Amino acid sequence: DTEVTQTPKHLVMGMTNKKSLKCEQHMGHRAMYWYKQKAKKPPELMFVYSYEKLSINESVPSRFSPECPNSSLLNLHLHALQPEDSALYLCASSYTTSYNEQFFGPGTRLTVL
Amino acid sequence: GEDVEQSLFLSVREGDSSVINCTYTDSSSTYLYWYKQEPGAGLQLLTYIFSNMDMKQDQRLTVLLNKKDKHLSLRIADTQTGDSAIYFCAEVPGDGGSQGNLIFGKGTKLSVKP
């Protein structure tokens, strides 16, 4: 299995909702990443988990809360989002953070109303 | 800080070669990557080159690296309509290499005309 899966594919939520994005990989990778991508822009790093511990938080607002329950799973909990948070959220994984050959999932297209 | 620079658009005819250029920022970057993104999809890792190499060839793809000028290029031979996509170059800065910090260029949109 050489892929990263993400669910849901699309998500529409109101500003008062709480929702979660899920990412899964079964490649034995110990580093997992969340990126945010706005239209016609490159991905921007949000969080890095290394061996299930948060190693990088790129000054992301607290309305985004990451969680890594085990080495295969990565969640992003969303609460009280703003319309400007609408974007494609991409998950990626790599063997470790020292081996940066990152494999990306297909993304979750998030719309905040 | 400086940005990873790429031209925004490239248009070629089917069967021609495409060359996508990138100027990166950190002369101590260890790995440089090329990713492809089709509309509405995630990023697909195409190829990468280690900083001690000048060239890497993988089927239709050739990567050239000029460390002196911090210039990276991706050549696609016999370009097909299925190659139409956005191509991102990415670097791992020397001081971020242990933390997985990929720095992306803005992306080059390749359009292939039949």
Q: Which two tokens stand for residue A4?
A: 């990263």
CB contact under 8 A, B44 and A48: no
User: Which are the contacts of A79, defined by CB distance < 8 A and separation ≥ 6?
Assistant: A17, A18, A63, A65
**Residue B77, min C-alpha distance to chain A (Å):** 24
A93 at interface of B, judged by CB pairs closer than 8 A? no
| Whether the Cβ atoms of residue B11 and residue B113 lie closer than 8 Å to each other | yes
One pLDDT digit (tens) per residue for chain A, 113 residues: 669 999 999 999 999 999 999 999 999 999 999 999 999 899 999 999 999 999 988 889 999 999 999 999 999 999 999 999 999 999 999 999 887 789 999 999 999 99
pLDDT tens, residue by residue, B40-83: 899 999 999 998 899 999 999 999 999 999 999 999 999 999 99
A31, A43, A109 ranked by CB distance to B100: nearest: A31
* CB-CB neighbors (< 8 A) of A101 in chain B: 31, 33, 45, 48
* % of chain B surpassing 90 pLDDT: 74
Whole-angstrom CA distances from A3 to A12, A24, B5, B30 are: 25, 9, 29, 25
Residue A52's Cβ-side half-sphere holds a number of Cα atoms within 13 Å equal to: 7
**Among chain A residues, CA nearest to B31:** A100
Nearest to A81 by CA among A65, A67, A97, A95: A65
